[in-house]
Amino acid sequence: MGSKGIVIEIGIYEVRGALFSSFFGRTRIERMESVSIKEGETAAAVEKLIADFPSDATITLILPGHIFMIRTVPLPFIDRKRIRKSLPYEMDGLLPFPIEELLIDSLSSTPSEIGSRVMAIAIPTKLLQHYLSLFPEGRKPSIAIPDFVSLLSLGINIKGEEGIYGIVELEAGKTSMVLIQDGRPVLARSIASTDGFTSVHETIRTTIKGILDEGQKITRLYIAGPGATNDFPPIEGVGQTVPLPPIIKDISLKEKPSFVTVAGGARAAMEFPWFNMLGLSSEAERFEKGLKSLSIGAAILLIMGTGDLYLHSRTGYQRHSSLKAESRKVFLSVMPDVKKVVKEDAQMKDALNKERGTLEALTGKPAPSYLASINGIEKIVSDHPEIRVREASFESFGVTIEGDGSSIDAEGLKKIFSGIEGAREARVEEVTQGVEPNTYRFRIRVDLKS
């Protein structure tokens, strides 16, 4: 026996799916299917695909990674439950959306001197709801993850790797990448082909530039997906570029190499059972099912107790009294834990406030007005009405600019902001899909001459 699940990936040109079963830590993919998206009818393709799979299987939805926002957040503790509670407070002001319009979860945490460094992932609620609406009623996904989490699930099972290594999936319309060290993600990105990069090589070089600039080395990149070839050219700063192994742990990619992300999604539920952008992890789901079973069991016991009371009123009364006494004991025994949780929650909020105050005292608050103090910046923005700057903050001989745009690709953004007087280099750090169609939100870093 084992649990069955379905993984669905919505691509640009087709919808892919896989039926898998898991049993005692092993995953077996039973079937892989795909349906082409004709004339933009994505919902029809989704409905046709899932009709071929069992109706009682849990559905995991894999979404394009470039619609997610990723931030690394320092926190003064390492407990995952406390991290999940505190992330909305910590992410407020770090993202170009109101925090109440976002769904947020954390993929990993790395111990640090002050506590931990957390890789937090966010997505606009409306955008995720749009993808869920493509599924028919009664067949909605219960888990949603970015495509790079699927790659991560495969990457951590590649044996014999040391240092920083990663997987790059080349697909029509996007390039997805994850870099890994010691079983944890170092970098996770998915870039749409419409973001203005002239080639896959430029996409990869731009993505890993920050890692290489810090003096770190990437030992190996595994190339996967429909665009992968056996003679993939070398990439500067990378030790080796090689094809992804055809078999990773218990997942075989021999027959359908284009299903890399789907296959990784089948492993994700085991490797990262707590991670779910919908907010209900498999651990929570098991608890909920257990609670339902307990409720049913309690109802059955109540019925049996009522019948016994009717036939043997004296015995029933004694049992009822015993149950009340036992319930009181249980209530009194859990009260200290309840008080402890309330106390820890208050301590957590106090620690976060102190941490924020310390950071502001050391680095100062962001200075949105700094943008206007750079010669020529107002003219640059006024010459390009398709760009709207939302915020600019100065730190470490540079300015980080966040804003909205349309019709200008990543290369165009670099050229525009490279014209700032005193600029040494402009680097696009993030481009994500906006709420409105044909719009995007960007974050660009402009290093200034010291």
389-415: pLDDT as tens digits: 777 777 767 788 888 888 787 888 888
CB atoms within 10 A of CB 137: 5
The yes-or-no verdict on residue 298 having pLDDT over 50 is: no
Joined together, the tokens standing for residue 2 give: 């084992």
The alpha carbon of 384 is separated from its chain's Cα centroid by a whole number of angstroms, namely 33
- Please answer whether residues 154 and 222 qualify as being in contact, where contact means their C-beta atoms are separated by less than 8 angstroms: no
Give the side-chain half-sphere CA count within 13 A for 206.
26
pLDDT in tens, 358-399: 555 555 544 433 444 455 566 666 778 788 777 777 776 778
What confidence tier does 79 reach under pLDDT thresholds 50, 70, 90? confident
Beta strands in 99-252 (DSSP E): 102-111, 116-124, 143-146, 164-171, 174-181, 184-192, 218-224, 238-243, 247-248, 251-252
In 251-389, where does DSSP find H-type helix? Answer: 260-271, 282-311, 313-363, 370-373, 377-382
Tokens 């695909």, residue located: 49
Mean per-residue pLDDT over the chain, rounded? 78
Largest alpha-carbon pair distance within the chain? 92
Beta bridge partners of 435: none
The pLDDT assigned to 179 comes to: 95
pLDDT in tens, 425-442: 888 888 877 656 567 788
Q: Say how many Å lie between the first and final Cα of the chain, rounded.
A: 65
CB atoms within 10 A of CB 113: 5
Q: CA–CA separation, 304 vs 217, rounded Å?
A: 68
Which pTM does this prediction carry? Answer: 0.63
The pLDDT assigned to 129 comes to: 94
Of 34, 1, 3, nearest to 269 (Cα)? 3
- Window from 101-115, 257-271, 353-367 with minimum mean pLDDT: 353-367
Instruction: Sort residue 146 into left (φ over 0), alpha (ψ -120 to 50) or beta.
Output: beta
CB atoms within 10 A of CB 432: 24
What confidence tier does 45 reach under pLDDT thresholds 50, 70, 90? very high
CB atoms within 10 A of CB 20: 25
What confidence tier does 332 reach under pLDDT thresholds 50, 70, 90? low
